[in-house]
């Protein structure tokens, strides 16, 4: 079997920035174990698979370790492949996923994704998290991930986690965030339980970050940067119980996998 595959840097305007994702267009679903093996072979934070559906496309995401319920950068990458390489007609794409229908539309040079929000709630039992991060956050909240808020961008950049301790926590991952020096906020994201030590740019984390910072700053449109080593930029816009996440994407390579 020959399988076409693309590698796309998402939330990036040039190659070797943002978050790389593999994208595999399919005519029908492969066996789950095979898709997991492909994701493990790619060894990227996410590999996206999609198949045509009655309305749009069915979309699934796999880390090297497991399938996940929501992924922003691989959704952006999948839409980029459909628009740029597979000549999808029209300005919108609808993806059917474990997290409901996610739509992506062209917005000038950017792609804008319509995602759910996951507002965080206060969390008081933060001693283990503070030890895992090597410093005490000013505030800790939780949604699908822990959200550790620090005083400034320098503190976020300086975090050096103990990944064994992070791996023992009960949620998907840990977001660290603070006001940005040149953006409304900055963040980093760690998910060792999913086989992702530090994710370069995490769209799904902004489903929690956006409502937190919108409330704190009194703004509905926010500029964000994830300050990982690769780094990446996105814009967040709150729309009631949804968030619009916009970013650029570039293709790094096209390949054919022999299975």
Residue 101, number of CB atoms within 10 A of its CB: 12
Distance CA 57, CA 59 (A): 6
Return the ∠ at Cα 151 (arms to 129 and 116), rounded to 5°.
70
Contact assessment for residue 227 and residue 157, using Cβ atoms and an 8 Å cutoff:
yes
Contact assessment for residue 98 and residue 70, using Cβ atoms and an 8 Å cutoff:
yes
Q: Which of 17, 46, 153, 233 is catalytic?
A: 46
* Count of helices and strands (H, E) across the chain: 6, 18
Tokens of 138: 């000013």
Written in H, E and C, the secondary structure of 153-209 is HHHHHHCCCCHHHHHCCCCCCEEEEEECCCCCEEEEEEEHHHCEEEECCCCCCHHHH
153 tagged catalytic: no
Distance CA 192, CA 195 (A): 5
Task: Cite the active site residues.
Answer: 46
């Amino acid at each position: 079997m020959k399988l076409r595959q693309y590698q796309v840097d998402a939330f990036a305007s040039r190659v070797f920035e943002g978050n790389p994702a593999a994208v595999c267009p399919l005519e029908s679903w492969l066996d789950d174990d095979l898709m997991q093996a492909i994701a493990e072979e790619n060894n990227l934070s996410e590999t996206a698979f999609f198949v045509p559906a009655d309305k749009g496309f069915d979309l699934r995401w796999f880390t090297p370790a497991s399938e996940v319920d929501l992924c922003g950068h691989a959704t952006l990458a999948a839409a980029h492949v459909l628009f740029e390489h597979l000549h999808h007609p029209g300005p919108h794409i609808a993806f059917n996923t474990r997290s409901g229908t996610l739509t992506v539309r062209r917005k000038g040079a950017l792609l804008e994704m319509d995602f759910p929000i996951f507002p965080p709630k206060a969390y008081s039992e933060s001693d283990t998290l503070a030890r895992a991060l090597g410093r005490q956050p000013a505030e800790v909240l939780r949604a699908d991930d822990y959200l550790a808020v620090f005083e400034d961008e320098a503190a976020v950049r300086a975090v050096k986690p103990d990944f064994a301790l992070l791996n023992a926590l009960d949620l998907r991952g840990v977001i660290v965030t603070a006001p940005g020096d040149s953006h409304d906020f900055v963040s980093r994201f760690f998910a060792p339980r999913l086989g992702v030590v530090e994710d370069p740019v995490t769209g799904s984390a902004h489903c929690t970050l956006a409502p937190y910072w919108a409330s704190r700053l009194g703004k509905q449109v926010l500029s964000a940067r994830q300050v990982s080593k690769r780094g990446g930029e996105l814009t967040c816009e709150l729309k009631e119980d949804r968030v619009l996440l916009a970013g650029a994407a570039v293709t790094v390579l096209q390949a054919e996998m022999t299975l």
